[in-house]
Amino acid sequence: MSQLPRAPSHLDAAGKATWKRLVGELPDTTPGSLLALEQASFAWSKWLAAHGEDSKLRWSRCCRQWLSELKLTPRTNTTRKSTEDSGDPILKLIHRAE
């Protein structure tokens, strides 16, 4: 079994933590998927640090777009039977941010 790719060094601590939580959920580790995960991790970090509703909304849309691209949202992940499943990547991120 091969080792999972490491988070890019330019991500901050929150971005790296997000990467580590989600990299194992990727359907593949092609360069395109890893780039999308990098962008999703960056956007999540920005969402956590955002102040104001407009900024939060902008970064939440960005997160959703990248996670949807990776098929890691409840709607796009057809392998999960329920959004209540504790394995859902977005629910994990939200619960950890609270």
Rounded CA-CA distance 82/98 in Å is: 21
Rounded to two decimals, the pTM is: 0.76
Instruction: Please determine, for residue 13, whether its predicted confidence score (pLDDT) is greater than 50.
Output: yes
What integer pLDDT is reported at residue 63 of this predicted model? 93
Q: Tokens standing for 57?
A: 């909304």
pLDDT digits (tens, 9 = 90+) for 77-95: 655 444 445 566 767 777 7
Rounded CA-CA distance 9/15 in Å is: 10
pLDDT digits (tens, 9 = 90+) for 28-72: 899 999 999 999 999 999 999 999 999 999 999 999 999 999 988
